[in-house]
Chains A and B, each alone.
Chain A
């Protein structure tokens, strides 16, 4: 009889103690609310927001100051891509210096909407022409804008890249 009553109150005491420990955890964070904020105020911190070097945001074709890229149009990335994201349109043209006909890049089409950022194209590129860019703000109003041409107008193949 008395032990049952004792058990009853012991149970209540233990329950309240268990609840209080939980409230202690949240209460501690409330007291330090300003220091421990884990969220970022995103559009405001755009200037200071720095992505990691290896961050995979989108595929970019590197161009140097003379508007030259290193893509020979070999299509290795197109083959490596699992989703058909990359389309290389190439043509055989005469090299103005040597006079020989040579495979050259016409258009580097990149369908961002299909890309899964798997990095296989970058690994497969024999001339290190492409790399992963850090831009992650890809939202557009029209999905046709997600199909991009990566080689800039008038760009040429960098000298010495075969």
Chain B
């Protein structure tokens, strides 16, 4: 269907010429400063070459000069939509290295805030996804609900986006007295709004036809390319770190790992929508059962990790986020490596998008949910 070849006798095959087009670094749908060099034949994409590095801030190198407390606020600036999970990963790595057992209260609060962050990230993704496909109204609806989560964060930790709420050994502050009530209000509100998301976009025949069967990614490829998060699970790759290597309060809660088998754009869309329902149920299980106790374990003023290598994985809104610390016993790490989910999710683009139209590439990119600072670091 996408190939136009005239094979009637006497008529030579219609010869076409490929050409290059630079999509980005300044482009409305590359979500930041991603540059894609596309080789196109008419409207059909023959090759996608992602070029990154436009927002490289050498965060990993900066970490080698910062103390362990200071590293955490840099991770906010990587995947800013799942900043809390990034913070948590570093804190969990440091805590396991120092063999600190954090109180139950800290674990539960961390889990709740993680899930709220995941919800807010998926809400933003949903709005932007609609906007990429041309339904601009969904953007504002997504932001309306996200605003309530941001208010919860702002009241509890003072910042809306780069929260820096974790410190090694616990949390920076205790939760605000209004936290539980606000969260419950939000959940009650969002339970009525999430079906609306379905009515506006998920059931829309235009969105269905734009996403169903587009950008197919098989399970084998997902595993080979290391596609994690909802994008990987939409292809049937069971990669939820919350289930595989549970951390914080995840062992206590019951939730389903969303596994779909289609692997197309709509499956990735559906996976995120279903994940929002799971996040709501996780928060509902925990919000009334926050145990009493300390919100922080006292740690030394200068944290020095023992010699060795430490690795911690968490599930961010985009997938498997890993922190790999090599310590030589000093107050800053010898080498620190972040395994960011966006990076591996980006480089499957060439595999997935070949043979698609330009409009499909936009749909594929928004269902993989790229956040450029996460990819570039």
A–B direct touch in complex (beta carbons closer than 8 A): yes
Interface residues of A (CB under 8 A from B): 14-15, 18-19, 21-22, 24-26, 38, 52-56, 80, 82, 116-120, 123, 132
The reply to whether A119 and B158 form a contact with Cβ atoms under 8 Å apart is yes
Q: Which residues of B contact A15 (CB under 8 A)?
A: 205
Given that A54-B155, A54-B158, A56-B159 are contacting pairs, would A22 and B201 also be in contact in the complex, using a CB cutoff of 8 Å?
A: yes
The total of interchain contacts (Cβ-Cβ below 8 angstroms) comes to 70
Q: Which residues of B contact A123 (CB under 8 A)?
A: 167, 172
Known: A19-B205, A119-B164. A25 touches B155 (CB 8 A): no
The residues of B with any CB-CB pair to A shorter than 8 Å are 66, 69-70, 73-74, 77, 137, 140, 143-144, 147, 151, 154-159, 162, 164, 167, 172-173, 176, 196, 199-201, 203-206, 208
* Cβ contacts under 8 Å, B140 to chain A: 38
11 A-B interface contacts by CB (under 8 A): A18-B204, A24-B199, A38-B144, A54-B155, A54-B176, A82-B70, A82-B74, A119-B172, A123-B167, A123-B172, A132-B158
Given contacts A52-B158, A118-B164, contact A82 B205 (CB under 8 A): no
Residues of B within 8 A of A56 (CB): 158-159
Residue from B69, B74, B147, B204 in contact with A80 in the complex, judged by beta carbons closer than 8 Å: B69
Interfacial chain B residues near A120, Cβ < 8 Å: 69-70, 73
Residue of B nearest to A56 (CB): B158
Q: Which of chain A's residues have a CB closer than 8 A to the CB of B204?
A: 18-19, 21-22
Complex CA gap A82/B205 in Å reads 50
Cα A14 to Cα B159 with chains together (Å): 45
- Beyond the given A52-B151, A52-B158, A116-B162, please list 7 additional residue pairs across the A-B interface where CB-CB is below 8 A: A18-B204, A22-B204, A53-B155, A55-B154, A80-B69, A119-B172, A123-B167
A22 to B196, alpha carbons, bound, how many Å?
A: 9
- Pair A54/B157 contact, Cβ less than 8 Å: yes
C-alpha gap A132/B173 in the complex (Å): 14
Given contacts A15-B205, A118-B73, A120-B70, contact A55 B162 (CB under 8 A): no
| Contact (A117, B159) CB under 8 Å given A38-B144, A55-B154 | yes
Instruction: Choose from B154, B176, B199, B205 the contact partner of A25 (Cβ within 8 Å).
Output: B199
Which residues of B sit under 8 angstroms from A117, Cβ to Cβ?
A: 158-159, 162
Given contacts A38-B140, A80-B69, A82-B74, contact A21 B199 (CB under 8 A): yes
**Which residues on the A side are within 8 Å of B137 (C-beta)?**
26
Q: Which residue of A lies closest to B70 (CB)?
A: A82
- B73: chain A residues at CB < 8 Å are 82, 116, 118, 120
For B195, give the chain A residue with the smallest CB separation.
Answer: A25
Minimum distance in angstroms from B121 CB to a CB of chain A: 19
Centre residue among B73, B137, B151, B206 by max chain A CB count within 10 A? B73
Closest A residue by C-beta to B160: A55
Beta-carbon nearest neighbor of A82 in chain B: B70
CB-CB under 8 A from A14, the residues of chain B are 205
Q: B154: which A residues are within 8 A, CB to CB? A: 52, 54-55
Q: How far is the CA of A20 from the CA of B172 in the complex (A)?
A: 48
Task: Using CB atoms, name the residue of chain A closest to B74.
Answer: A82
Which 6 A-B pairs give the minimum distances between C-beta atoms?
A: A82-B70, A118-B73, A56-B158, A54-B158, A18-B205, A15-B205
A19 to chain B, nearest CB (A): 6
